[in-house]
Structure 1
Amino acid sequence: MDDFADEESRLGGRLKRYAQVGTSVGGLAAQVVSNLVFGTGLDRGKHSSDLKNALGGLKGPLMKAAQILATIPDALPKEYAEELRQLQSNAPSMGWLFVKRRMKSELGAGWLKKFDTFVHEATAAASLGQVHNARGHDGTELACKLQYPDMISAVEADLKQLSILFGIYRRYDKAIDPSNIHKELSDRLREELDYFREAQNMKLYQYMLRDEAQVFVPECVDNLSTRRLLTMTWLDGSPLLDYIKDHEDNIEARNQVAMNMFRAWYVPFYKYGVIHGDPHLGNYSIRQNGDVNLLDFGCIRVFEPSFVKGVIDLYFGLEQNDEALAVRAYESWGFKIKNREMLDTLNIWAHFLYGPLLQDRKRTIVDDHKGGPYGAKIANKVHGELRRLGGVKPPREFVLMDRAAVGLGSVFMHLKAEINWHQLFHDLIGDFNHVELSKQQSSALEKCDLN
C-alpha cells in the first residue's frame, strides 16, 4: 500500500509540475508576443531567468533537452543559453520502496534473487533514470540503469513545451530556423527511452572500438535487461575533473586522456559514420592510467556516408582555400548558399571548429580564441551575420555533430591539452573513401542488429 501511495504521489506531483511549467512557459511566450505587437519592452535577462526557474522545477527530460540546447551555439539566444546552462542535471533519486516496485515490474517478483547483492541507494541520478551498483552471482560487478516510470508521456509533454520555447525564439530572432533542431532532439530523446536500443548501441561501440586498447565499453547483461532497465558490467574510473585535479602538474597524463577521448569519439565517426552526441561529464570516466570508460550510449547518431564525406571535404576546402569544394560540402548537407557573404559567414564557424586541425603544430584547442565559453564569441559573430543575411536553417544532423565538437572542445580546454591535432586527425582519416566507409558501416550495423 505504501508503494502504491508513493507512486500515486509522485505521478500527481509530476502532473502538477507539468501544469505549472506549461503555465509559466505560456506566460513567458505571451510576454514576447506582447512586446512584438504592442512594443511593451522585454528584459531578456529577466525573461531568461524566469524561464530557467520555470524549467528548473521539473528536473526531467525538458531540463535535459534545455541543457543540450544551451551547449549548441545559436540554438538559443545567449541570455537564455547562459541561464539554462546553470540548470542542475542531478534529479533526486527514487527511494528504496519505489525502486523495489520498479525492479519488480521489470524483472518479476523474484528480481532480487537474480543478484548476489544490490545496493539500495543510487550511485547516480539524472533526468531520465538512476543507476544502482550490484553484483552478479558469478561475482561480476554490475551497474543497473533503471528508468523512471511514465517517461514516455513525460518526454512527449516536454517536447510540446520545447516547441513553445522554439516559437518564442523564432518570433523575435530570424537568424537560425530551429525547426530541424526540434525534430532532431525529438527523435533522439525518444530513442534514449528505449534501453534495448541502447544495449545495441553499446554492442556497436564495442565492435567499432575493438582495436582501441585505451578505450573501454561495458558489456550488456541481456538476461537482466529490459526496455526500461539496462544492466551492464561496472567500469571503475574517476570523473574527468577529479582526474585533472590529481594530475595538474602532469601534462603528459592530461594529453594522453585528450588523445584517448579524441579517438573514442572520432574513430566511430570517420570509420563508421557514427557519433556519440553527448560528451557530458557523467557519460564517461577516466582510469588511473588515463584510459577512458564510455558509460552511456543513449544519444547515438548514425550518419549517411555522404555526410561524413562532406565533413572531410570542408576540411580540405578550408585547408586548400578551395571555395568550390567548400560550397559542395555545405550543399551536400542541405545548406542553401545564397551568396558569397553566406559562404564567408559559415566559414567563420567552420574555421573555428577546424582551426586546431588545420595547423600542423602542437597547440591547445583554444590558442586563437581565448576567453569566455568555448566558441561563444565566434558563435555570436556568426549569429549577427546570419541575422543580417536573412537567416539559415541548419540541417538536423548538425545538432549532435556540433554538440560533440563543442563538448569535446570544452573537455580539451579542461585538460589544457597540448597536442598536434592536425597529425591526430590525419592519422585517423588516412586515405578516406566514403564507399569503404559505407561498407564498414553496413557491416557494423548488421552485426549489432541496428539495420
Structure 2
Amino acid sequence: MGVRSAEPAEPAEPASVSEQPSSQDNTDPTQEQSQVRAIQGLSSLPLAEPVLPVHPRTQPLEISSTRVRSYRFIRAYLTTFQVCFSYLWITLGGKLMGPTWMLQRMEAAHPRNAKRVERTIVALQGLFIKVGQLLSIMANFLPEAFRAGLQGLQDSVPPRPFDQIAERIQIEFGKPVDEVFDRFERNPIASASLGQVHEAYLKDGTHVAVKVQHKDIDEVCRLDLKTIRRIMQIVSFFFPIQGLEVSYRQIREMIGRELDFNGEASSIERISSHFANDPNVGFPLVIRTHSTGRVLTTTFVEGIKIGDVARLERAGINRTELAQRVVRTYCQMIFVDGMYHADPHPGNMLVTRTGKLILLDFGAVAVLSNEMREGIPEFLEAALRRDTDRLIRSMRKMGFISKRSDAEVSEKVIEYLHHRFQEEIKLESFNLKDIKVDPQRGFENLIDLHRMNIGMKELSGSFQVPQDWVLLERTLILLTGVCTNLDPNMNPMDVIRPYLKEFVLGNRDWTEIAMEAAKDMAMRAVSLPEDLHKYLSKAVRGELEVRVRDVRDGARLVYAATRQLIYALTGIAFGISGLQLYLAGDTVLALGCFGGVGTMATLFVASTIWIRISRR
C-alpha cells in the first residue's frame, strides 16, 4: 500500500520512492494543496478537501442502529425475491415458448436485474459493496451481462469519524495517535468498506500512508456475510444452481485475507523482493514498527497515475516502453514467481518522472496453484492431439470440472466446444497472435446445448471456474486495458512469448509434441472412428438410452406458472407496501404486510414442490 499524487501540470523534479522524505521541497504550497492524492485504487481526492466523493448515503454506516440493521436486512431480501421472480417467470414461459424465446428474454433481463442489485448494494453499503465487486469477477454462475452490470461498483463510502480511527489506533498500539505519529491528518485521503487511509508523518519525519480498519468491521462482516449466505440459499432454492456455496466460501476467504493487514504487508515484501535488482519497478516500503493486523503503514509514494496519458506525455515518458514494462513485470510475477498482484487497475499503478513503475494496493494477491501450472500445458497438448479424455482430465485437475459432475454431460459439452474450437480458432502458430474468435457465437452455442438437453442447471452442476483462474483472467483483462490505453498498437505477444513458451513447454520441444499429435490423428484415421466405438460400447453394455418427452408437461407448467406469477406479484406488492409502512413508522400495518409476504411465499414454495413432484 502506498499513497500517490498526480504530478503538477508544470514539469518538476523527478518523483522518487524512498524510505525517508526528501530533504528539499521546491513545490509551491499552493500547488501542493492542489495535488490530487489517491490510495488503494479509490477515487482521487484533493488533499485540502475534507469531504470525499458524493455518495447516495451521505452518512457513514452505523451498524449498531437496530433500525438500520432491519432496513438493510429487508431491502436485501426484497431485491433478492424481485430478481428471482423475474427469472423464474421467464424460465417457466420458456417451457412453452421454446429455448430461443427464453434465452432472448434472459439476455434482456440481465442488465435490468444487475441495475436493481447495484442500486441496493450502493444503498446498503457495508460489505455488500465489496461482495458485489467480488461477484462481478468470480461468480461463474452469473451470466456475463449480469456481472458486467456490477463491474462499475466503486468501493468508496463516506468516511468514519476521526474518533473511531483514533480509538482503533489506541487499541492496536496501546497509546494515543499523537504518541504513535508526529502528525496525523484527521481527514482521510480515501475511505472504503473495510477501512480508510490517512496521511501521516512518523516521529523521524518519514512521510507515510496509514490504512486503518473500521472500528466495527468484524460485526459488519459477520452480519453481512450471514445475510449474503441466506440470499444464496434462497437463490439455490428457486434455481438449482451448483457452485453458490463454493463462491460464498471463496468470497469469505478473500475478505478474510483482505482484513489481514499482516498478510498484505508480507505480500508487499515478498513480491518486492523478486524485483530487488530491477531499477525500473518499485514498491512502497512497509513500516513494520507502525503496522499491525488492523493498521498498515507504508511509505508515501508519489507519481503520475498510469492512466493519465497527457501528464505522461508532458513528463517525456515513452508510453510504448512503459506498456512493455508493465507486461514484462506481470510475466515475471505470473510465469516465473507464481505470485502476482491481482488488481492491476490504473489506480494501483504510478509512474515516476524517470519512468519507474510503482505498484500499489496488495490486498488482492494471487498464487497460481500447482494444479493450474501443471494443467495448462496438459490442456494445450490434449487440444492439439484432439484427445477429449485428456482434455477432461486436465480440466478436472485445474478445477474446471466439478467433483460431482455428470460424466456424460461433461463429455458432451467438451466434445461440442472442442469441435467449435477447431472450427472457429485457427492455431496458425504458437505466437497466439493469429488466433481468431467470433464472439457472436456464444448465443448460438447456448441454443445448441439446450437442444442437446443440456441447460444451465446441467452446465452449472458439471463445470465451475476455479478462483485462481478467475483472478488470473481478470488480471489479464485489466492489463490489456492499461496497455491499450498506453499504446493501442502494441503487440504484447512480443514480450509474453518467451515467458509463455518456458511456462508451457519447459524442457520439451514443441515440434516433438506436434509430430506425436499428427501420428495419433493418423492412427485414428485408419481405425474404427472413436465416436462409433463409444456408441457401440454403450449399446453392448445396455447403456444406450432413448428419451421421449411428455407433451402434457407443457400444459401443466403453464398452469403452474400462472399460479406462481400471481403469488409472486402479490408477495412483492405486500413486501413493498410493508417496507414503506415500516419506514413511515406504522409498525402494525407493516407487520400485517410482511405476514402477507410470508403467506404468498409459502404458497409459492408449495406450488414449486408440486411441480417438482409432478415431473418425477
TM-score range, shorter-chain basis? 0.7 to 0.9
The SS at the match of 1:397 is: helix
Residue identity in the other structure for 2:225: L
TM-score (normalised: structure 1): 0.76
1:298 aligns to 2:363 (yes or no): yes
Q: What is the CA–CA distance in structure 2 between the aligned matches of 1:386 and 1:26, rounded to whole Å?
A: 33
2:414 to 324, 331, 342: 342
When residues 18 and 401 of structure 1 are mapped into structure 2, their CA distance, relative to the original with a 3 A threshold, is farther
Does the CA contact (< 8 Å) of 2:320 and 2:490 recur in 1? yes
**1:27 Cα shift?**
1.8
Find out whether 1:331 has 2:396 as its counterpart.
yes
Structure 1 unpaired stretches of 5+: 1-8, 437-451
TM alignment of 1:437-448, pairs within 5 A: none
> Equivalents in 2 of 1:327, 1:383: separation in Å?
20
Tell me, yes or no, if the aligned pair for 1:222 and 1:231 is still in contact at 8 Å: yes
Counterpart amino acid of 2:226?
K
Q: 1:418 aligns with which of 486, 489, 503?
A: 489
Q: Deviations over 1:341-398 (max 9, x none)?
A: 425537989999999995466x9xxx9689xxxx8x6876777777746312223333
Bigger drift between 410-419 and 351-360 goes to 351-360
Match of 1:24 among 55, 64, 75: 75
Residues 266, 275 of structure 1: 8 Å contact kept: no
Cα-to-partner distance string for 1:388-446 (whole Å, 9 max, x where unaligned): 4631222333332222222223323333443333332233246449999xxxxxxxxxx
Q: Distance in 2 between matches of 1:252 and 1:354?
A: 37
| Bigger radius of gyration | 2
After TM superposition, the structure 1 = structure 2 runs for residues 251-330 of structure 1, keeping only pairs within 5 Å, are: 253-315=318-380, 326-330=391-395
CA drift at 1:172: 7.0
Q: Which residue of 2 aligns with 1:48?
A: 114
Q: For the residues of structure 2 that align with 1:354 and 1:290, how far apart are their CA atoms? A: 38
Q: Distance in 2 between matches of 1:106 and 1:357?
A: 57
1:19 and 1:277 mapped to 2: Cα distance? 35
Q: TM-score, normalised by structure 2?
A: 0.58
Stretches of structure 2 lacking an aligned partner (at least 5 in a row) = 1-59, 94-104, 402-406, 508-616
Q: What is the CA–CA distance in structure 2 between the aligned matches of 1:350 and 1:158, rounded to whole Å?
A: 45
Counterparts of 1:350 and 1:124, CA distance in 2: 49
SS for the counterpart of 1:339 is: helix
Q: Shift in Å at residue 216 of structure 1? A: 1.2
Which of 241, 246, 265 in structure 2 is aligned with 1:180? 246
1:446 matched to which residue of 2? none
How many angstroms apart in 2 are the aligned matches of 1:234 and 1:203? 16
Alignment check: 8 A CA contact 1:74 1:176 kept:
no
CA contact (8 A) 1:116 1:137 kept: yes
**Does 9-18 or 25-34 show the bigger shift?**
9-18
Contact 1:184–1:399 (CA under 8 A) maintained in structure 2: no
One-letter amino acid of the structure 1 residue matched with residue 471 of structure 2: L
Partners of 1:353 and 1:141 in 2: CA distance: 53
SS in 1 for 2:251: helix
Aligned residue runs from structure 1 range 95-244, under 5 A = 95-167=161-233, 177-242=243-308, 244=309
TM superposition shift of 1:130: 1.4
* Identity rate, percent: 21
Question: Residue by residue, what CA displacement relative to the aligned partner does 1:58-91 show, whole Å, maximum 9, x if unpaired?
Answer: 3333212212322458552345324323333211
For 1:33 and 1:380, how far apart are their aligned partners in 2? 22
Q: Following the alignment from structure 2 to structure 1, what is the Cα–Cα distance between the partners of residues 429 and 222?
A: 40
Residue 291 of structure 1 deviates from its aligned partner by: 2.8
Change (3 A) 1:317 1:170: same
Rounded Cα–Cα distance in structure 2 between residues aligned with 1:419 and 1:192: 34
Tell me the CA shift for residue 145 of structure 1.
Answer: 0.8
Counterpart of 2:470 in structure 1 is: 399
Displacement of 1:159 after TM fit?
2.7
- C-alpha contact (below 8 Å) 1:274/1:300 kept by paired residues: yes
Letter in 2 for 1:19: S
Task: Number of aligned residue pairs: give it.
Answer: 418
Say if 1:157 and 1:53 are closer, same or farther in 2 by CA, change over 3 A: same
2:12 aligned partner? none
CA distance, structure 1, for counterparts of residue 74 and residue 254 of structure 2: 26
What is the CA distance between 1:191 and its match in structure 2? 1.0
Listed as ranges, the matches of 1:352-363 within 5 Å are 358-359=430-431
Do the aligned partners of residues 248 and 160 (structure 1) sit closer, same or farther apart at CA in structure 2, a change above 3 Å counting? farther
Separation in 1, partners of 2:261, 2:424: 36
Instruction: Provide the secondary structure at the position in 2 that maps to 1:134.
Output: strand
2:522 — aligned with what? none
Select the residue among 492, 499, 504 that pairs with 1:428.
Answer: 499
Distance 1:353 1:189, change over 3 A: farther
